[in-house]
Structure 1
Amino acid sequence: MEADNAASDARLVDEARRGDQQAFGQLVQRYERRLLRVIMRFIRDRDVAEDLAQETFLRVYERLGQFDTSRRLGPWLFRIGVNLTVDHLRKHQRRIRWALFSERTIERTPEPEISDPREALDLKQEVQIVIEQVPEKYRTVLVLRDLENFSTSEIASILDRKEATIRWRLAEARSMFQRLWVKRMQQSQDSVEDENES
């Protein structure tokens, strides 16, 4: 199946290089939902994420002539998208950090079994807040592997790193996430207890 997609991508890239807009449109259709989802793991603002996805496809289109069709398109495209997203985050890092630390919401510690959909949303928001605290080079690997289910070899290709480096960063990222998660849940619990005492 993966080989079929790679061959299909290569054919569409060749057609797009010859000016076939529909071929490029098919590539966009094939990758846009997953690309947007990946970008939104880093950036909560859907409009900004959509702009970054659009910029990714624009850059892919402009660089189609440089793409080696013997390689897979997906990792190349996601590398461009992740790099644009990381660049955006770096430019806006101060604002993001301020927003993160000025958040005043107090969530209760989630239960293992979630029956209320609002609690699932709270959990998702809590996970996002904690993920944003993981340093960028670790967060990128964590998001791509654990939230988007890319293989370590795909992530290595996307980030242009060795698989061993990706596995190490993933282990570090998971460890950091766990420590940050425990800390956040403890802070939430302490806040709830303080509020109940008042």
Structure 2
Amino acid sequence: MRSLDVSGTRQEESVQPIAREDKAHERNLKLRDLSDADVVQASLDGDDRAFGELVRRYDQRLLNFVYRTIGDRERSEDLIQETFVRVYRHLHRFDQSKKFSTWIYTISSNLAKNELRNRSRNPLVLFQTIKKNWSTDDRPLEWEDPKYKPDDLYRKRFLRARVEEAVEELPKHHRMVFVLRELEGKTYEEIAEITECNLGTVKSRLNRARNNFAKIIAPMIE
């Protein structure tokens, strides 16, 4: 009987870790179904996995945003790490009547702006197609063009180089709203919050950035 009891105990012990893993996986799946606001609240309530879910959602997005703004991949990774450190420390101060995405973009945007103030580096921005004419609400730069063939590397590299040159010439404050709108797809209201500018200033800067970009890029690609 003793041997059976031990065997039974061992069997239970071998099953329990698997059961715990399944439950943890189930909880993680449930977190992924929650809104940002609910995940933030879960984190504030002491669920350590919730903050990990916020990192999962925003890590790559913020890295792309900062990288396109400052042009240094390694430094961008440092700034994103600092972003999440600040979010973790100050999450209890976050105004939950606002969008979490806007708040975290504001933090990373401020870090990127400080980086640009402290050193003169040019942003590396990746584009695949350019439209020289657009309306106020259109995004002039798109990531994909069905006319491109997979082996059309020369054209893409040429275009990328010209775009980099054009973006370099945009003032830093114009460049920021340009990237937020044209690459990140943020609304004017979100950009205003992120850059801490009023709506009129955002629209004015974006309009100037678009016009300047079009003038600069046109002779390069004709």
Q: Shorter-chain TM-score category?
A: 0.7 to 0.9
Question: Structure 1 residue 48: deviation in Å?
Answer: 1.2
Question: Structure 1 residue 166: deviation in Å?
Answer: 1.2
Q: Which fold has the larger relative contact order, with Cα–Cα distance below 8 Å and residues 6 or more apart in sequence?
A: 1
Matches of residues 56-67 of structure 1 in structure 2 within 5 Å? 56-67=83-94
8 Å CA contact retained: 1:144, 1:150? yes
Which whole-Å CA distance do the structure 2 matches of 1:53 and 1:80 have between them?
9
When residues 114 and 12 of structure 1 are mapped into structure 2, their CA distance, relative to the original with a 3 A threshold, is closer
Query: Deviation string for 1:81-130 (max 9, x for gaps)?
Result: 0110111111112xx26x99xxxxxxxxxxx9654123213312321332
Query: Computing the radius of gyration over CA atoms, which structure comes out larger, 1 or 2?
Result: 2
Which whole-Å CA distance do the structure 1 matches of 2:198 and 2:51 have between them?
30
Question: Structure 1 residue 67: deviation in Å?
Answer: 0.3
Which whole-Å CA distance do the structure 2 matches of 1:40 and 1:165 have between them?
24
RMSD (CA atoms): 2.5
After TM superposition, the score normalised by the length of structure 1 is 0.75
Counterpart of 1:20 in structure 2 is 47
Identity of aligned residues (%): 38
Q: Does 1:132 align with 2:168?
A: yes
Question: Structure 1 residue 76: deviation in Å?
Answer: 0.8
**Runs of 5+ consecutive residues of structure 1 not aligned to the other structure:** 101-111, 190-198
Counterpart of 1:181 in structure 2 is 217
Counterpart of 1:153 in structure 2 is 189
Counterpart of 1:168 in structure 2 is 204
Instruction: Describe the SS at the equivalent of 1:124.
Output: helix
Q: 2:81 aligns with which of 29, 54, 65?
A: 54
Instruction: Describe the SS at the equivalent of 1:85.
Output: helix
Which whole-Å CA distance do the structure 1 matches of 2:206 and 2:44 have between them?
36
Q: Does 1:11 align with 2:38?
A: yes
After TM superposition, the score normalised by the length of structure 2 is 0.67
Question: Structure 1 residue 23: deviation in Å?
Answer: 0.3
Question: Structure 1 residue 15: deviation in Å?
Answer: 2.1
Q: Report the AA paired with residue 156 of structure 1.
A: A
Instruction: Describe the SS at the equivalent of 1:130.
Output: helix
Instruction: Describe the SS at the equivalent of 2:71.
Output: coil
Question: Structure 1 residue 159: deviation in Å?
Answer: 1.5
Which whole-Å CA distance do the structure 1 matches of 2:87 and 2:166 have between them?
31
Please identify which structure carries the higher helix content: 1
Counterpart of 1:142 in structure 2 is 178
Q: Report the AA paired with residue 50 of structure 2.
A: A
8 Å CA contact retained: 1:152, 1:167? yes
Counterpart of 1:90 in structure 2 is 117
Runs of 4+ with deviation above 4 angstroms = 112-115
